[in-house]
Structure 1
Amino acid sequence: MPQSVDVTVVVPAYNAAATLPATLAGLAAQRFAGRVEVIVVDDGSTDATAAVAEAAGATVLRQKNQGPATARNAGATAGRGELLVFTDADCEPHPDFLAALTRPLADPGVSGVQGAYRTRQPQLVARFAQAEFEDRYAFTARFPCLDLVATYAAAFRRELFLQEGGFDTSYPVANNEDTEFSYRLCRLGHRLVFAPKALVFHRHPATLGKYLRIKFWRAYWRLAACRDHPEKVLRDGYTPGVVRLQTALAGLLALGLIFWPVTALGGVLALAGGVAVLCSALPFAAFAGKRDRGLAVAAPGLVLARSLAFAGGAAWAVLERLAGRACTLLRSRRGQS
């Protein structure tokens, strides 16, 4: 008869043979009194991901490449634990990760728990990304109930997770499917909380190009998550209002640059938008500089670049949706003619 399990840890993995060993070693070294099963869902990898997981003693599920939302749902369905924990194949859990992450679920009024990122990387962009997370955590701590539990360090009651349908599998990449699920839980009145000591060490993007690509698609998929939750477009418990303001100002900057060749007003708009973003970034630069002096100087420029990436991703999502509606309208009119 199978041994009962307290916690099921689900790790979706796609071509993760290089990073997965550290994840599984971290899970094996947990200072946790309960019984744990680790399920790695191989999402159609073409490398040795499955073999690495099996060698480490994890249960391995294989599926064709369908994205992390489908992979996590498959692991949750196959799991036997009362509690469900998610982390990623490029995360290394701290030895107290499981204990700290699941402790708040001892309160029956808590439905989900969010952990925290740390990094050991020396690169400027990676340090900036970590400072961003630290800033978001400080903002999140003001709220008694979260509206985002991100899957790099997440815990839910497994019965609730399955009852509410898990992650939306229409999200093909690891981007905001956890946001949409969290919004769903909040709408239903579930309480989600932050566990700042539930740590995983992560490899943030180390180059500016990779970082900006991630931010572009973050904005794109965040608007997708807001499609069914429009109340979150202007305000949520994860994104400080200044970040939304900076994104709007960066959009103004971009529009000004586009129209500058046509009218001098474009140059004025571009200058005003850029200066406003840089000025609005000064409080974050001071925040980051307390922890990392090198970031104090670089932060305003990086915030401006981030804001432009966010504005680009959001604009792409809006234009794509408008184009889709226009095509639907044209097809409808042709059908009536």
Structure 2
Amino acid sequence: MLVSVIIPAYNEESTIESCLKSLLNQTIEKDTYELIVVDDGSTDSTPEIIKRYPVKLFRQENSGPATARNLGAKNSSGEIILFTDADCIADPNWIEEMISPFIDEEVIAVKGAYKRGKGNLIMRFVQIEFEERYEILSKLNSIDMIDTYSAAFRRNIFMEYGGFDTNFTKANNEDTELSYRLSKTEYRMVFNPKAKVYHTGHPNTIFKYFKLKLRIGFWRVIVYKRFPDKILTDTYTPKTLKFQVLISLLLLGTSVLSFLHSLFFYAFLSFLFLFLISSIPFIRFSLRKDTSIALLAPFFLMIRATAIGLGSVYGFVSNPFTSIGTRNTKNRGQ
């Protein structure tokens, strides 16, 4: 079974070499997989670095990672196509673990895990965020979210459903949109926690983290407009997070209105109490991983929920393109 590994790259001169070295040092035979890099109009030395390695290089004008990944898939030869990011470093057995679930013919997509080493508090909090989600996913027979940092698809299904929606010109939620489309099929998508990549691009300040979650909130609501059944429940998002997003918006509203009447102040205190209660599951989970993060969890969770909430409100009242999914993408099952 030939495998194609596709990496979109835009101005990744500081990370692409480590990424390619890790992918060229895999446990499976080199003649069983190909590496495809799509340069998305880089203006730095990324293309020159890529040319030093035995990979297929395609270039396009800067159009975003969704378009770049689709171009790589179109020019791939593998029955299975894998995606990762140019700032990720794959474990030596990453490809082997990513393709192993495809022995089950009902499986059409596989999600791997995301790790990083020690860092500052915000970076450690982000890692625990992921690990909380992974614990949820590892208990499920089928999932509805395949993240592109560690993703695998049967090529025929990926092409049949039109790949990533290129209306998503930024690296944000294009994988969610495709995952939700594929979740409507009669096939399964699964999580393999043994397939690990190490990401070097965690946000390392509160400000960067807030901006990231703000964008995630915005684009996720754009996707929810197309898949409203996912608003209340999906396999990837902890239920407490969606509750906290709502509470954070109520906290913002009542904090402003409390200047007008004392009843709003009492409402603010009630919502704050509910938020703290809803933080208990994450605090308990964090205690098993990192005591410092557990102690600061309510603060980090409030930052996260507020950013996602504000982004969601903006996404709800706006639309970054006229009609989501206007290009030829299939929506079987809707």
Same-fold call, TM > 0.5?
Answer: yes
Counterpart in the other structure of 2:135: 138
**1:323-334 correspondence to structure 2 within 5 Å:** none
Q: CA deviation at 1:299?
A: 1.2
Q: CA deviation at 1:213?
A: 0.9
1:53 matched to 2:54: no
Structural RMSD (CA): 1.5
Q: CA deviation at 1:60?
A: 1.2
1:110 matched to 2:107: yes
Residue 44 of structure 1 aligns with an amino acid whose one-letter code is G
**1:255-294 correspondence to structure 2 within 5 Å:** 255-294=253-292
Residue 10 of structure 2 aligns with an amino acid whose one-letter code is Y
Q: Gaps (5+ residues) in structure 1?
A: 326-337
**1:226-265 correspondence to structure 2 within 5 Å:** 226-265=224-263
Q: Secondary structure at the match of 1:299?
A: helix
| Identical amino acids, percent of aligned pairs | 39
Distance 2:257 2:49 in 1: 54
- 1:208-235 residue CA offsets vs partner (Å, 9 max, x unmatched): 1111111111111111112221110111
Provide closer, same or farther for how the CA distance between residues 135 and 173 of structure 1 changes in structure 2, counting only shifts above 3 A.
same
Distance 2:271 2:4 in 1: 48
Q: Gaps (5+ residues) in structure 2?
A: 324-334
- 1:231-282 residue CA offsets vs partner (Å, 9 max, x unmatched): 1011111111111111110010011123233333332333322332122112
Residue 7 of structure 1 aligns with an amino acid whose one-letter code is V
CA contact (8 A) 1:41 1:75 kept: yes
Q: Secondary structure at the match of 2:37?
A: strand
Q: 2:85 aligns with which of 76, 84, 88?
A: 88
Distance 2:169 2:230 in 1: 21
1:13 matched to 2:22: no
Q: 1:308 aligns with which of 296, 306, 311?
A: 306
Distance 1:121 1:217 in 2: 25
CA contact (8 A) 1:146 1:192 kept: yes
Residue 51 of structure 1 aligns with an amino acid whose one-letter code is E
Q: Aligned pair count?
A: 319
Distance 2:46 2:259 in 1: 52
Q: 2:120 aligns with which of 123, 130, 137?
A: 123
Provide closer, same or farther for how the CA distance between residues 320 and 265 of structure 1 changes in structure 2, counting only shifts above 3 A.
farther
Distance 2:70 2:81 in 1: 11
Q: Secondary structure at the match of 2:191?
A: strand
Q: Secondary structure at the match of 1:187?
A: coil
- Structure having the higher Rg: 1
Q: CA deviation at 1:151?
A: 0.6
Q: CA deviation at 1:116?
A: 0.1
Q: Secondary structure at the match of 1:227?
A: helix
**1:134-283 correspondence to structure 2 within 5 Å:** 134-203=131-200, 204-283=202-281
Q: TM-score, normalised to structure 1's length?
A: 0.91
Q: CA deviation at 1:104?
A: 0.4
Q: CA deviation at 1:319?
A: 2.3
- 1:84-122 residue CA offsets vs partner (Å, 9 max, x unmatched): 000001110000100001100121111000000110132
CA contact (8 A) 2:138 2:193 kept: no
Which structure is higher in helix share? Answer: 1
Q: Secondary structure at the match of 1:197?
A: strand
Q: CA deviation at 1:32?
A: 1.2
Q: TM-score, normalised to structure 2's length?
A: 0.92
Q: CA deviation at 1:206?
A: 1.2
Distance 2:263 2:312 in 1: 24
Residue 28 of structure 1 aligns with an amino acid whose one-letter code is L
CA contact (8 A) 1:15 1:48 kept: yes
Distance 2:249 2:90 in 1: 38
Residue 100 of structure 2 aligns with an amino acid whose one-letter code is R
